[in-house]
Chain A
Amino acid sequence: MQLLNILNIKGTITLKSGLHIGAGDVEMHIGGTDNPIIKHPNTQEPYIPGSSIKGKVRSLLELKSGLVVKTDGNPLSARLLKGLKGEERQECETILKLFGSSGADGEAVAELGPSRVSFADCPITKNWQEKVRQSRWSLTEVKSENSINRIKGTAENPRFTERVPSDTEFAFSVCLKVLKPEEEQPLLEALLQGLKLLELDALGGSGSRGYGKVQFRFEDESIQKRFESIDLFSRGGKL
């Protein structure tokens, strides 16, 4: 294997709804929310960790592959390759080459090579920072929620969740290592498919309740056109 190229795919992620990527329950500040989001420790500006995008894109690609029934919900690993043939094997290999595999099966992992893809953390774009500053908006919002008692029909369990507001823009960057010429296009295609799946699904917490809808806009026009033309499902997402 030889490093032939590193494709750097850059663009913008625009939030189409509030985004909550939790900072955990490590500490709670007086007057703070009980569900804070992750922020840069120096600037206190929210950012999207590369791990959030990588993890969600991988899990969606694995779900689409249908191979997850064989892993009991765990991520795909090189061990699974032994029992696969044809298209299933190819799909599994593509995911493992892109995102990496656990070290349980040394030989199989060595054949796959290193993880090809590397997602950077996504900071808020300079444009958005400026817009927020000029408009005197806040970089975050707090959404209150509750649950409804099914018998009384009244609100219970109020909670306050911090989110990054809709329309916020983040700078997105992902690197793809090309180690074999014949791998470049299939891996790029799979990566773009994963990002398309993410657009259709959601990033961060509470996705089924409307949080975390995102839209990608790529700097490179050819990548943008290719991304827009991706048809993920045979029925094109229609009934």
Chain B
Amino acid sequence: MKLYAISLEPISGFGTPLKGDTLFGHFCWQAAYDSKLLNGGLDKWIDCYGKKPCVVFSSAMPYFSGQSTPYAVKRPDLPRSYLFNKLKEKPNKREQISARKEDSKKKWMLLEKSLTINLDKPLFRTDADLAGMVAGENLSGSFRCSFEQPHNTINRLTLTTGEGAFAPFAETVHFYMPETELALFVLVDETATDLERVCTALERMGQFGYGKNASTGLGRFRLGSLREEVSLPSGQAFNACYALAPVVPERGRFSKAFFQPFVRFGKHGDELARSPHPFKNPVIMADEGAVFLPATEATEEVFLKPYIGTAVKNISKALKSSVVQGYAPYVPFHLEVNS
């Protein structure tokens, strides 16, 4: 499989976060309507999805083109002692508490183009830092904000809003700062498809809308200039995997796992969104930013593959063959495990 980095430019608000598993679901719908996107068609690749994923999407993350650390990924879900203690050897309790508060705001970690993670020299940043990087100046806000967009249904007899089914309601919409760029890492099986076709699918998603309320203006993006193959760090004694998308890890492969649980209450898209059973079974996943340490006996096997995780099946009453991307691209790195 080849790993590609692709940049996106949001041009509207979003009702659904750009997470790896949702992007994969959208890609599948694109492939269902255009058989040329996957060699042999979608069904062939869904049949073997449990053994051989055709594409694996990462979640979208801020991207700063032209910078020495162009990617900002979620801070690894490791205990604080792994991340900050070495930097914050404060003499008294008051300073320690103050430093802890400052550190807890740093939710992002900058990554170099080589994707090397070095926790001895971490580059942790706050939301405001990222907003400043997007705008090119110091800002106090966040590069991503949300607001409640009001809606209503028009009564066809009176052409007004009203009560009951016609009462106003609000839905949360997330907006990125203008000129924010996002990056996706996509693992592509060359026997199934290629970069050009994945970009075609992404272009169509961005044009017609991604996620919730796509037909009413949300989820629009266009592709940016970044479309290139990237290599994962190699040649070192790695002992940990940093997940770039929500993942359902394989049983028995990992000796330690640090993660925040993420429950995907999935819903079918496209025509199945309006079927009698639009909702999928919930799936408990480890959110992006999770860190897994392979068990000693499985280390070689884990690092041979460019992804971790498993396929999730049997999640739908509307479409038995539905799958959820439980796979995630990962960045290998060395974690000094505290005793």
Contact = CB atoms under 8 A, between A and B. Distances in A.
B208 A175 contact: yes
Nearest to B175: A41
B177 interface: yes
A109 B34 CA distance: 21
A114 B209 CA distance: 13
B271 A113 contact: yes
Given A26-B170, A120-B217, A114 B159 contact: no
A106 B276 contact: yes
Interface string A177-193: 10100000000000000
Contact of A100 (B146, B149, B215): B215
Contacts of B276: 103, 106
B50 interface: no
A6 B12 CA distance: 19
Given A26-B170, A63-B156, A103-B275, A54 B216 contact: yes
Given A38-B150, A56-B154, A103 B274 contact: yes
Interface in A74-105: 74-75, 99-103
Interface string A118-144: 111100000000000000000000000
Contact of B34 (A2, A42, A69, A99): A2
Interface in B200-221: 204, 207-209, 213-218, 220
Contact residue range for chain A? 35 or more
Interface string B15-45: 0000000000000001001110000000000
A40 B175 contact: yes
Contacts of A177: 208
B12 A59 contact: no
Contact of A109 (B147, B170, B275): B275
A8 interface: yes
Nearest to B270: A114
Contact of A121 (B12, B168, B277): B12
Given A42-B178, A103-B274, A72 B217 contact: no
Contacts of B148: 24, 26
B215 A119 contact: yes
10 contacts: A2-B34, A2-B35, A26-B148, A54-B217, A55-B151, A121-B13, A121-B220, A175-B207, A179-B33, A207-B159
Interface of B: 12-13, 30, 33-35, 145-159, 165-166, 168, 170, 175, 177-178, 204, 207-209, 213-218, 220, 270-271, 273-278
Interface of A: 1-3, 6, 8, 22-24, 26, 38, 40-43, 49-51, 54-56, 59, 62-63, 68-69, 71-75, 99-103, 106, 109-110, 112-115, 117-121, 175, 177, 179, 207
Which 10 A-B pairs give the minimum distances between C-beta atoms?
A: A50-B217, A51-B216, A24-B150, A3-B33, A68-B156, A121-B217, A73-B157, A106-B276, A103-B274, A73-B155
